Amino acid sequence: MMTPQLYLFFKGDCLEAMTHYAETLGGTIEGVFLNKDAGSPEEQMPGGDDMVMNLAMRLGDTLMMASDNSDEMYERPQGFRIQIEAPSTGEFDRVFAALSDGARDMPMPPGETFWAERFAMFTDRFGTPWMLNFTGSRSPDATT
């Protein structure tokens, strides 16, 4: 069976963003390859020595990968959001505070919905679009 993995692109702040995500979500950075680690200049991507060529972060059973892109190659993420299910309102509040600090936009601030006790949609300061959810008593499992 094939397992999909997230691969995020950043505009020069990949290491900062992924370290922030690992600290906030309880992940572990498993490997970082910088431009300066390439064997020759021909193998480097456009940009400085500290540009991330590839980074792997383990988050539970999920492997998230990421890299930097040059200004010419970077495209703003669109058409998706990373969805996180918080286990409690306290964790929702903690994760929301950390990820939304300096948010670029917030089409849905934290609030109650018909499917969740708390839900929010926002794009963080690094340009990553998120949905944060705490289903709580509205979980289908909560009624059984």
Question: Residue 144: its pLDDT value, please?
Answer: 47
Are 40 and 87 part of one and the same domain?
A: no
For 81-115, the pLDDT digits (tens) are 999 999 999 999 999 999 999 999 999 999 999 99
Residue 114 lies in a domain: yes
Are 105 and 61 part of one and the same domain?
A: no
User: Which percentage of the chain shows pLDDT scores above 90?
Assistant: 77
Question: Residue 142: its pLDDT value, please?
Answer: 57
Rounded to whole angstroms, the Cα distance separating 113 from 133 reads: 10
Amino acid at 8: L
DSSP secondary structure code for residue 61 in this structure: T
Residue 77 lies in a domain: no
What's the domain count of the chain?
A: 2
Q: What is the pTM of this model?
A: 0.90
Are 89 and 47 part of one and the same domain?
A: no
Angle among Cα 38, 66, 134 to the nearest 5 degrees reads 160
Are 10 and 63 part of one and the same domain?
A: yes
CATH number, domain with residue 27: 3.30.720.100
> pLDDT band at residue 136, thresholds of 50, 70 and 90?
confident
Residue ending a domain, among 40, 68, 96, is 68
DSSP secondary structure code for residue 45 in this structure: P
Residue ending a domain, among 35, 68, 101, is 68
Domain of residue 137, residue span: 82-143
Are 95 and 139 part of one and the same domain?
A: yes
Rounded to whole angstroms, the Cα distance separating 76 from 66 reads: 14
